[in-house]
Amino acid sequence: MHLREARAYKIKHSYDVGDLITRYQWILQLAIDYIWENIIWVEKEVRNYYTVPKTEKNVKLLKHRGKKFKVYGGKIYVYYTAKRRIPRIPSSAEFRRRLRDYLQAFWKQTPYASHYVDSAIRTAYWILESWRENYLNGKFKRRKPTIKSRFARIKNSLFRVRDGELILTVVPRQVYLKFRINKAWFYDRIKGWKLGEIILKDNELILMFTREKEEEELDRVIGWDMNMFTMDGFGDDIGAVKKSIRELYRIHITYHNKRRKIQKMLNRNPKQARRLLKKLSKREADKVRDFIYKFTTEIAREFPNYVHVFEDLNKEAMYNRSKKHNRNIALHDWRKIVEILKYKTKVIEIDPKFTTKTCSRCGSLNTTVKNGTVKCLDCGLEIDRQLNASINIYLKGKGLEPSLETWNKLIKTKDVGSFGVPLNGAELDDVSPMNPEGNEGNVAQGEVG
C-alpha cells in the first residue's frame, strides 16, 4: 500500500509576476467555463438513508411498509432512493485537445510559456472534480466555480532544479525566475523528496515536496488525546481505544476535601495545620506518582512497538488558556504521564494546533464542536470529539494530512464505532458505519424483499 507524504514550504520573493498571475487566472477561468459548458447532466437514482430510533414499533412499521432498512448501534437506517442530476465532466483526449487549442489561441497573445495552459487545464479539472465531489455530497449548489484568489499553479515542465537552484520559466529563453533553494532553511528536511508542484503567488512561492511511503516502512503509531477522565487513543491495527485515568481525578478530589477540613483549623492551630497540609500534599503527590508509574507501565506493555503520539502539552496551554483549576491540575498530570512514558517507550510530541477542530476525514476547519461531537460542515462527518482529536494526533504523528483518501485507507477500515455517519447523498456502498469490517455478526439484517 502506498501513501503519499507531502510537505509544503514557502519562499518569499520580490519578482514582479503580477501580469503573469492575472493572465493565468483569466485562462484558468476560461478553462473552467469551457469544461462547465460541456458537462453532461445525467438523471440517476441515488440511494440515501435517514435514521430513526431503534424500537420494536419502528421495526414493525417499516416492515409493514416494505421499507429497506438495517439496524445498527441503537439506530435504524432506513434507505430510500431519490432522483438526482449527476454531472459527467468531459475528459476524453479528444475533448482535452479541443480545450487546449481553444485556450492556446488566447494564450498565444501573451509572451508566456505555452506550458502554463497545460497547468491551467489540470488545475481547472482539479477544481471541477472537487466541486463535483462536494456537489454530490450535497454541500455545493449547481453553480460554476469562479477563481478568486491570485495564484499560478506550475507543472514540472516549467521548472528545473540544477545545483540547488530552482529555475522557473516565465518567458521561454528570456525571463526566468531563480531561487537558491539549497540556501533555504528547509533544504535539509527535503533530502530524498521530490519537488512535485509549485504555486506562484504575488510575493511568495509555495513548494510542494512529496514522497511515497510503503506502509511497512511506517512505524506503528498510536495517537493519544488527553482528557479529564480518559486517555483516548487511535492507532494502527487497533483503531480506537480508551484508557481510564479517572483514578487521578479521584485522588485530587479526596485530598482537596481533606485539605479543606484542615484549613478550618488554620486559625486555631496554625503550626500544626501547616504541617498537616504539607504532609497531605506530599501524600497526594505520592499517590498520583504511583498511579502514573503503574499506568504508563501498562500502556507501554499493552502497546509495544508503537510510537505514542501526544500533543505538546506545553504548547497546549497557549491554545487553551483555560483558567479552570481542575484543568490545570489535569494538565500537570498529563505532562507527567508523557514524561514518564518517555522512559518506557517511544514517544513523540506534535503541535496541538487545531487537533480538536479539524475534521479528521476531510481536513476542513469548517466544523462545529458541541456536546462532545464534532460536525464537519464540509463533508458531513459527525464524530465523537475525543475520537476526532485522537485521529488527528495519530495522523500528525504519521506525518499525514487528513484527506478522504487517507480516511478510506487508514481510518474507515478500523472500528470507529457508529461515528463517521456519512453525508447526504452517499451511495449505499459508502455507508461504512453500518458494517465497518465487513463483519455481519453484530449487524441485524432487516431487509424485506
Residue (17 or 389) nearer to Zn ion, CB: 389
User: Should residue 376 be labelled a site residue for Zn ion when binding is judged by CB under 5 A?
Assistant: yes
Q: Decide: is 254 part of the binding site for Zn ion (CB under 5 A).
A: no
Task: State the minimum distance, in angstroms, from the CB of residue 354 to Zn ion.
Answer: 13
Is 78 one of the binding residues for Zn ion (CB under 5 A)?
no
Kindly state whether residue 423 participates in binding Zn ion, applying the rule CB under 5 A: no
Q: Which of residues 113-172 bind Zn ion (CB under 5 A)?
A: none
Q: Does 309 bind Zn ion (CB under 5 A)?
A: no
CB of 406 to Zn ion, least distance (A): 12
Hey, which residues between 340 and 359 contact Zn ion (CB under 5 A)?
Answer: 359
Residue 213 beta carbon to Zn ion: minimum distance, rounded to whole angstroms: 24
Counting contacts by CB under 5 A, is residue 379 touching Zn ion?
Answer: yes
Residues 212-251 that bind Zn ion (CB under 5 A): none
Question: Which one of 25, 58, 254, 364 is in contact with Zn ion (CB under 5 A)?
Answer: 364
Min dist CB 82 to Zn ion, Å, is 23
> Is residue 338 near Zn ion by the rule CB under 5 A?
no
| Least spacing, CB of residue 423 vs Zn ion, in Å | 9
The Cα–Cα gap between 430 and 102 comes to 38
Q: 226 or 431, CB closer to Zn ion?
A: 431
Residue 362 as a binder of Zn ion (CB under 5 A): the answer is yes
Could you tell me if 301 and 260 are in contact, meaning their C-beta atoms sit under 8 angstroms apart?
Answer: no
- Which residue number, 29 or 406, has a Cβ lying nearer to Zn ion? 406
Q: Which is nearer to Zn ion, 27 or 376 (CB)?
A: 376
**Buried b or exposed e, range 45-54, using 16+ CB within 10 angstroms:** ebbbbeeeee
CB of 443 to Zn ion, least distance (A): 25
Binding of residue 383 to Zn ion (CB under 5 A): no
Q: Binder to Zn ion among 181, 378, 394, 419 (CB under 5 A)?
A: 378
Tell the smallest beta-carbon distance from residue 363 to Zn ion (Å).
Answer: 7
Q: Which is nearer to Zn ion, 221 or 362 (CB)?
A: 362
Nearest to 313 by CA among 399, 227, 388, 402: 227
Report how far residue 387's alpha carbon sits from residue 403's, in angstroms, rounded to the nearest whole number: 16
> 84 near 44, Cβ under 8 Å?
yes
Q: Cα(288)–Cα(298) distance, rounded to whole angstroms?
A: 15
373, β-bridge pairs = 370, 384
Binding site for Zn ion (CB under 5 A): 359, 361-362, 364, 376, 378-379, 381
